[in-house]
Each structure stands twice: as structure tokens, then as C-alpha cells.
Structure 1
Amino acid sequence: MQTITATNYSVYFNENGYEYLNRILKPELYSKIFIIVDGNTAEYCLPNFLAHLATNIEIEIIELEAGEENKNIETCLQVWYSLTELEGDRKSIILNLGGGVVTDLGSFVACTFKRGIDFINIPTTLLGMVDAAIGGKNGVDLGILKNQIGIIREPKAVIVDTDFLQTLDGSQMRSGLAEMLKHGLIYDKSYWNKFKDLSNLNTNDLDTLIHESIAIKNTIVSEDLTENGIRKALNFGHTLGHAIESYCLEHPNVKSLLHGEAIAIGMILESHISKEMGLLNNEAYHEIKYCISDIFEKVSFTTEAINQIIDLLIFDKKNEFGKVQFVLLEEIGKTKLNQTCSNELIHNAFTDYQL
């Protein structure tokens, strides 16, 4: 697959990625390599990754506990202390080998350690490949509130090795698929149409879809790195999706949802709101609802749960002057930014989703 050029870095694929790594990981450029992993990637991905590295630089492994609940400042403190104890300096480099939690947190750690050291993201999940590792957003959660603390700074590079996808189960693959569906809905109807029938999807098809998804996100981010305009479109489904995800994190008795599973619900809900506000036609809404529902299992929400999810919306990062800002759809492939809606419309969207 062809390398994708971003504003200040490139996304390399498969063998090209390892060739790039071995070209730059030289003792004259870096003093020490720190590889950040979690318990899963340490077991299933790290051995294969190390087998591809050819460098004389000392390598240290820092392992995190897996799970969104560990994407917080407390974990950052542990990593900062580890970097210090292992004599990391300004010429150290961090390689983040993992899913969204590892790349988000590891990148944030790199941006803040010694006022910033180089880092490279090597995403090992589909979600990480098409979303979390791309675009320079780095950060952690504040309690149950998603990505409240962070910084925008692009990595030195991103390495996408699609062989890592063989380590994932179906739920993790679907989680990443949600972000790919989103890229079609907000930017490219022809890309969205490719997901209407996944029954004959093969490995080569998936690689092509991943490449296209990354290219779409990169195009949007390159126009608006700091999210003052068009980059907000990437938050479609995330205003309610993040609130749903936070609600599930706060209530251990409720079925936990992966990021993409929550975003899938958010996209259906926000598509319904788009329809009710006269932006999206009924046919397009039902196409979106049934396509996503065919892939993701429906989740039930009580009225009390919906009210608590609505209360969490005030903490969304897009909000301005105390108003909850939604990204809505005018049609498949076209968004309308900075929209507000009533709580009644949100309740109606949940009602329709659960039919």
C-alpha cells in the first residue's frame, strides 16, 4: 500500500514501515528506545514487532494494564516515573505499540516528558489504525469523561501493519469498523456504499478499505489540525457516543461497550436527530440505521439511563459557551457543524433506535 503523507509525518504500511523504522533508529539519532505496550500487545504483538527491528539502540519495554479505565493521569505518572528511572532523555524515542489506549496515552506521555520527545505510533487494532493513531490527538480521560486532558501534536510517523489484525476478536474488529463507516458518512458516499455488503470481504479488500479510511481522515485533519472547522466533522456520532461510553464506564452493572460500539449507537442517534431537524431525508436515515444495526448488536437504555447520558453531554469537548454542539448530516457524505438540539429530540432518537 502506498505511503500516505500527512502535514508533518507519513503513514507507512507493512514492510515499508519496518524499513522506515530501521532506517531512523540509529545510535546517532536516538539514545534509547522505549516501547509502550499493554498486557495484550505484550503477549500477542511485541514478539513479532521486535523480530522486525534491526537496531543497536538499547530497548526498554514499559507495560500498561489493558483497558480504557487505565487511560488516565495516574497511569501517565507511572510511565513518567519509569522513563525517569530508566534514564530516558531528550533524545529518547517512544514507540507506542497497541490500540487506542496505548497510542493516546503513550503519545501524551511523549509530548510532555522532558517537554516533548519523538514518538511513533504502531497501532495494533483496527480502531487504532483508522482513527486513534492518526491525526495527532493525544490525551487521557478525566475520571469517566473521555479525552478531557490532552494535546494536539503529530507523531514522527505511524506504522500500520495489518498482520496485527489477526490477533483481534470480532468485537474489536467491529469497533474499528464503526470509525470507517463514519468516514464514509461524513465525507464520501461512495466509500460508505462499500460497506453495504461485507459478506464477500477478503484480506486484500480490507487492506484497501483501511488505506482509504486513513486517507479520508488525513485529508480532513490536514485542512484543520487544531479542530476549528472541518475537523469537527470527525466527531459525528461522538457527542452521544462518548456520553454513552462514559455512562457505561460509570456503571459497572451495565454492559460495557467498546469505543466503536458506543459510536455506532451515537451515529444512529445523531442521524435520527439530523432527520428530525429536516437536514437528512428519511430514506438516507433508514439506510444508515439498518446498515449499522446489521453489524452491531442493539443495546437497551432505560429512561433514567438516557437522562444521565444527556447530563454527560455538557462535558463534550466541542461545546462552546455552555451549548452542546452536534455534528449532523445533511446527506450521506456531507455534514453540518455546530448544531444544537433539544433533549426531546434526543429522547425521540433513543426511542426510535430501540424499536
Structure 2
Amino acid sequence: MLKIEKEKGAIYFNEGTWKAFKTTLEKLQPSSIFILVDTHTKKHCLPYFFDLTGLKNTALIVEIKTGEEHKNIESCLEVWNTLSENGADRDSLLINLGGGVVTDLGGFVASTFMRGISFINIPTTLLAMVDASVGGKNGVDLGSLKNQIGIINSPTVVLIDTVFLNTLPKNEMNSGFAEMLKHGLISSQKYWVDLKTFNPSNTETTDKLIWESIIIKNDIVTKDPFEKKERKTLNYGHTLGHAIESYCLSNPLQKKLLHGEAIAIGMILATFLSSEILNFDQAELSNITYTFLERYPKVDFSDAAIKDIIQLLKHDKKNRNGEVRFVLLKDFGNCSINCLVDNQLIIDAFNFYKNFTLN
């Protein structure tokens, strides 16, 4: 059985997952159980969950709308009120069954309701499995600004069953795969190369690569749980990626991007900046850019859009004293944190992205 043992936030993967769930319930003895789902996971994931747990007649379903645009305080208020109106107390349990929006928001709701109740995360998307499930970050967006409100607090356990991936469309799988590619860039060129074999139809190989991604993130988070140093490397590509995602969410004329789609662009831009500032290898820059653009269609940004995206950088959580700080690469697995970048270089990075061809 694949697992990562911790006093809080233990992770169980595939075999043994549902036995661990039963053991956890026996240990917690919750006074009541609530299951947070969104519209999609209620339809596609909840029946499987009920078949394995037998909780259909004992748990109360709490449903939120699907999508990043609903990861906000308004949704939290709905869930808090539902908990309160249905007699939840400090011994209640919230089970978050869904992707990153559900686990992020559900973890925040549980961490703040009555100053904190127990919660279990059961991620159902690739993104949530390799990213949101590890590290205890919970929170919501402030308007279109990503994850501005939140808390670090680990769930009782994280239960990962890759059967849920069978419910995902291709773009959602690609969104999660972007975070796996990030783990390769910041940790290991070998893992980056191994990811070229990623093929969801090959379950054995896919599960192996997903588990390795989880281990990479867990090792980083264990060294630096509150993001003082090493954990900042997990933000590679996210400074610009989050700004791009926020811009697309707030601009009705721009196509909305999934998190991983925006982060993929952010990683291309960050790798270009790495080549300019830290002399990251030019041939590898081309290789990395090619790898991303093969999978993630290019998005067109006007000069005005780029200007607005740069303005959004001032809201990045890594900023200090008004300075925007980037994570950049010297080489695979060799990151430099707190890098300052001139705005003209960011524009140059967008031009590189715009003009790069796959031919």
C-alpha cells in the first residue's frame, strides 16, 4: 500500500485507501458527517463514493456550483450556513469530495467553522491529487485575485483513488499535468523526461508518475510547511500564471483558462526569464517551451492585456515591500527564489511566447 504517514495530513493512495477511510471514521467518531461536492462531482463521483463507504443514508450533502468563479466567500457563507442550520458542532466531519476548488474551499470552511472541525480531502481531479491535496493550503479567491484569503491547516487524511480520473475530460487532465511538469522542472530532470511517457490510458505508468509527483511536493512541504524558503519553489510559473488566470477570469473578452493552462504559460515565461537572468540553458528553454505548446494551445494576449497582467502582479503573495519576487531556474532542480524582474523583461517573455513556433 502506498502511503505517506503523518500525525495530520497522512496520504493514502489507491490500494488500502478505503480501508484507511473506515479506520479514520472509527477513530474520529464524528457527531455528524457532511460531504461537500460541486455540481460535477455530485453527478460523477458521489455514487462511487457511496458504493464504497455506505454513507448514503447517514451523511448530508452540501453542494456548491462548479468552477473557479465560485471559489469565494459567498460560497463559504452558503456552506457555513448549511452546516449551522443542520446542527454541525465541533465534533462534526466535513468530507471534501472534488477538485481543487472543493478541497481548497472546503478546507477553509472546516478550518474556520467553530474555530475548526475535522475534514478529509478526497481529490477527484489530477490537479487536486498532485497539488491541492498536499500541503494544507486552504482558501478562496478575492474577486478574481487567486487565493488571497486562506489558512494553512492539514486535513485529517487525504485519500487518493485514481479511479476518479476516469470522470475527467482531457482539458482537466492537462490542467493537472501542468503541475506534474512543474515538479519535474523544480526537482528532477529525470522525472521531467519520464513525464514524456504520461498516457492516461496506461493506468500503471500513470499511477506511478502521479505518486512520484505527490512525493516530490510532500518532501518540499515537509521541509518548509509555512513557505519561508524551499516551499516557494512550488510557485514556479505561478507568479505570472496566477496573474494570467485572474486576468482571464475578470475580462469577459478573454477566454477563461483552467489553472494548469494558465500556469503552463507562466512556466514558459518563467523559463525565458530564467534564461535571461540566470543563464538557464537556451536549448532546454526551447525544449521546455515545445513540450508545453504541444499540449497547451497558445493564447493571444494584446499589448494592453500584457500591461494589465503586469499590474496584477502587485497582488502576488510572495511580494515584499512592494517588490514582485519570482522563482526562477538555474537548472533542473536548482531554483533561485525572491528574484526581481524588470517589467521590460516580462514583456520580452510574452513576445518570446507569442513568436515561438512548433515547426
TM-score, normalization by structure 2: 0.96
Q: Where does 1:34-113 land on structure 2 (aligned, <5 Å)? A: 34-54=34-54, 58-113=58-113
**Separation (CA, whole Å) in 2 of partners of 1:45 and 1:199:** 22
Does residue 253 (structure 1) correspond to residue 253 (structure 2)? The answer is: yes
| 1:167 corresponds to | 167
- How far does residue 257 in structure 1 lie from its aligned partner after superposition? 0.4
Distance change (3 Å), C-alpha of 1:179 and 1:7: farther
- How far does residue 22 in structure 1 lie from its aligned partner after superposition? 1.2
| 1:237 corresponds to | 237
| 1:194 corresponds to | 194
- Match for 1:226: what amino acid? F
- Match for 2:123: what amino acid? P
Distance change (3 Å), C-alpha of 1:128 and 1:304: same
**Separation (CA, whole Å) in 1 of partners of 2:139 and 2:7:** 20
- Match for 1:312: what amino acid? L
SS in 2 for 1:326: strand
5+ residue gaps, structure 1, are none
SS in 2 for 1:323: coil
Distance change (3 Å), C-alpha of 1:28 and 1:236: closer
Does residue 181 (structure 1) correspond to residue 181 (structure 2)? The answer is: yes
- How far does residue 133 in structure 1 lie from its aligned partner after superposition? 1.7
- Match for 2:321: what amino acid? F
5+ residue gaps, structure 2, are none
SS in 1 for 2:26: coil
TM-score, normalization by structure 1: 0.97
**Separation (CA, whole Å) in 2 of partners of 1:329 and 1:5:** 31
- How far does residue 294 in structure 1 lie from its aligned partner after superposition? 1.2
**Separation (CA, whole Å) in 2 of partners of 1:350 and 1:6:** 42
Contact 2:241 2:264 in 1 (8 A): yes
SS in 1 for 2:195: coil
| 2:323 corresponds to | 323
**Separation (CA, whole Å) in 1 of partners of 2:339 and 2:39:** 40
Contact 1:119 1:156 in 2 (8 A): yes
Contact 2:30 2:93 in 1 (8 A): yes
| 1:341 corresponds to | 341
- Match for 1:338: what amino acid? N
Q: Once structures 1 and 2 are overlaid, which stretch shifts more, 272-281 or 111-120?
A: 272-281
Structure 1 residues 256-298: Cα deviation after superposition (integer angstroms, max 9, x where no partner):
1000000000000000001011331211211211111111111
Percent sequence identity over aligned pairs: 52
SS in 2 for 1:297: coil
| 1:9 corresponds to | 9
Contact 1:33 1:57 in 2 (8 A): no
| 1:284 corresponds to | 284
| 2:225 corresponds to | 225
- Match for 1:110: what amino acid? A
Contact 2:198 2:209 in 1 (8 A): no
- How far does residue 25 in structure 1 lie from its aligned partner after superposition? 1.7
Number of matched residues? Answer: 355
Contact 2:200 2:206 in 1 (8 A): no
Contact 1:22 1:54 in 2 (8 A): no
**Separation (CA, whole Å) in 1 of partners of 2:25 and 2:107:** 18
Structure 1 residues 163-187: Cα deviation after superposition (integer angstroms, max 9, x where no partner):
0000001000000000000001001
- How far does residue 10 in structure 1 lie from its aligned partner after superposition? 1.2
**Separation (CA, whole Å) in 1 of partners of 2:199 and 2:223:** 35
Distance change (3 Å), C-alpha of 1:200 and 1:173: closer
**Separation (CA, whole Å) in 2 of partners of 1:11 and 1:27:** 16
**Separation (CA, whole Å) in 2 of partners of 1:248 and 1:317:** 19
**Separation (CA, whole Å) in 2 of partners of 1:263 and 1:299:** 12
**Separation (CA, whole Å) in 2 of partners of 1:76 and 1:225:** 25
Contact 1:284 1:331 in 2 (8 A): no
Contact 1:92 1:118 in 2 (8 A): yes
| 1:208 corresponds to | 208
Contact 1:30 1:57 in 2 (8 A): no
Contact 2:199 2:206 in 1 (8 A): no
SS in 2 for 1:25: helix
SS in 2 for 1:159: strand
Structure 1 residues 204-226: Cα deviation after superposition (integer angstroms, max 9, x where no partner):
10000000000000000000000
| 2:120 corresponds to | 120
**Separation (CA, whole Å) in 2 of partners of 1:5 and 1:308:** 44
**Separation (CA, whole Å) in 1 of partners of 2:69 and 2:241:** 17
SS in 1 for 2:140: strand
| 1:152 corresponds to | 152
SS in 2 for 1:239: helix
**Separation (CA, whole Å) in 1 of partners of 2:58 and 2:243:** 42
Distance change (3 Å), C-alpha of 1:201 and 1:285: farther
